[in-house]
């Protein structure tokens, strides 16, 4: 089902398949790797292999083009929706902690893809 109401997002969102590793904030040994579906200055949607309860805090290392190192952000799960039973979930994450340096990289990436028309 496609949402047909007014746009409520504060930040423009662009489609993009970027490699992202993620783990629970409280646990350093549960790292998993996936890819994003879309990204904005305020958050991302990524594919995960497990359900996350809304409010769960994650550490995300996102690899973006034109920047050699992954950027690290802290995010909070807004929604985790099952796509394939017990296997694939679309997980929406809001950024709650982004270093200023990484914020600039996000701005440049989103701007590039907006101009590119993706």
Domain boundaries, given as residue ranges, for the chain: 14-116
Quick one: pLDDT at residue 77? 98
Residue 75: CA count within 13 A, CB half-sphere: 31
8 A C-beta contact, residue 40 and residue 15: no
Record the tokens describing residue 4, joined without a space: 């047909």
State pTM to two decimals: 0.85
Residue pLDDT, tens place only, 27-64:
878 899 999 999 999 999 999 999 999 999 999 999 99
Mean pLDDT of 77-91: 95
Quick one: pLDDT at residue 1? 43
Quick one: pLDDT at residue 116? 82
Could you please state the CATH topology (level 3) that the domain comprising 14-116 is classified under: Thrombin, subunit H (2.40.10)
Give the SS3 label for residue 105: helix
């Amino acid at each position: 089902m496609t949402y047909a109401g007014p746009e409520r997002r504060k930040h423009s969102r662009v489609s993009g398949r970027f490699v992202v590793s993620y783990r629970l904030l409280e646990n350093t040994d549960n790292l998993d790797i996936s890819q994003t579906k879309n990204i904005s200055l305020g958050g991302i949607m990524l594919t995960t292999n497990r359900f996350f309860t809304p409010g769960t805090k994650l550490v995300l290392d996102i690899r973006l083009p034109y920047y050699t190192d992954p950027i690290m952000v802290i995010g909070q799960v807004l929604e985790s929706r099952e796509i394939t039973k017990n296997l694939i979930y679309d997980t929406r994450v809001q950024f709650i902690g982004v270093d200023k340096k990484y914020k600039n990289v996000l701005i440049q990436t989103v701007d590039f893809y907006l101009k590119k028309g993706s």
